[in-house]
Structures are given as structure tokens and as C-alpha cells.
Amino acid sequence: MAPVMPENLILVGFMGAGKSSVGRLLARRLGRCFVETDDMITAREGCSIPEIFARHGEAHFRAAEEETLRVLRLKTGDVIATGGGLPGREGRMEDLRALGTVIWLAGDFGALYERALRAGARPMLAGRTRDEVEALCRSREPFYRQADLSVDTTGLSPDQVVSRILGALAAREQAAR
């Protein structure tokens, strides 16, 4: 019998949602490869995300995100963490859902904001007030909401989020039987 190729698990969510740390842990738990769209872009461009924004502007970065979607079509069974803005265009969530199961790491805006600020190196935070960043977050929610599954990460450690994701995936599989 031909082996069933496991589908990709794709994490979406706003900056500070923990997509990288949760994705890395989830991949380790499942024995899968972990990829990040931001890493794919920095490897291709040969410079950091803040440098890409500073040298070439946001439009260039968004075009690079589009390109990563084409490359991701070659992947099977990976855990993929996306940049917070990648799903925020018409058609992008459909493209992501065509790659596998999309999981939204949702959370209280205040907590996401604090975490994103602490980690630094986020050009989308530079020069924006907290209210402006919150408006950006709200404007993306209709896209994130199109995910197959969502997990509220508020107050949870990355390990706990991974357990919630595994539980939600198991429940979904059970329901599909």
C-alpha cells in the first residue's frame, strides 16, 4: 500500500503569538521538519527582516512572502510557521489551506503586543502606536479566523499550546472518522 504522506501543519497568528517557539516544539514532538517563512526570506535575500524593510520597503517583503508560498507547495509533512502578515491578503488563507491544516495561534492583544515588543526586530511595530498596532491586529483577524483550527494561547506556555494543538488535531481526526 502506498504510504500516506502526512499533511503540513501551518501556524498563523499575529506577531508575538509564539509561532516560532510553538512550531519548533510541535515539530520536535511529531518528529517533523520545521520551517519558517521569515527564515526562507532572509536566506534568499541574504539579510535580516528589518534590513529588508529598510532597504527595499514593505512591498518588496510582501512579494518575497508570495514567493515563499510557491516554494512551500513542494513540502509535505512539515510544520510551517508563517510571518504574522502573510495571511493578510485576499486569497492567502485559501493558498495556505491548500498546503495543509492551518492553525491560528490566537491570544489576548495586550499579551501578544508585549511579547512582540520584548523580542524586538519587528519593523511593523516601529513608528506605530499601541492603538495602531491593535488596529493592524484586528484588521488581520478575519483572515486568521479562516484557519481550520484555532487555539487561544493566552496564559499558556509553548508546551501547553503544543498539547492543545495535538488535542485539537486528534479531536478533528476522530470527528472525521
Residues engaged in binding ligand S3P (CB under 6 A): 15, 19, 38, 49, 83-85, 122-124
- Identify which of residues 24 and 122 has a Cβ nearer to ligand S3P in the complex: 122
Q: How far is the CB of 3 from ligand S3P (least distance, A)?
A: 32
Q: H helices within 4-129, ranges in order?
A: 19-30, 37-45, 49-56, 58-72, 92-99, 109-119
- Identify which of residues 60 and 172 has a Cβ nearer to ligand S3P in the complex: 60
- Identify which of residues 97 and 122 has a Cβ nearer to ligand S3P in the complex: 122
Q: How far is the CB of 32 from ligand S3P (least distance, A)?
A: 19
Q: How far is the CB of 49 from ligand S3P (least distance, A)?
A: 5
Per-residue b or e along 30-40, where b marks 16 or more CB atoms closer than 10 Å to that residue's CB: bebebbbbbeb
Distance CA 86, CA 143 (A): 10
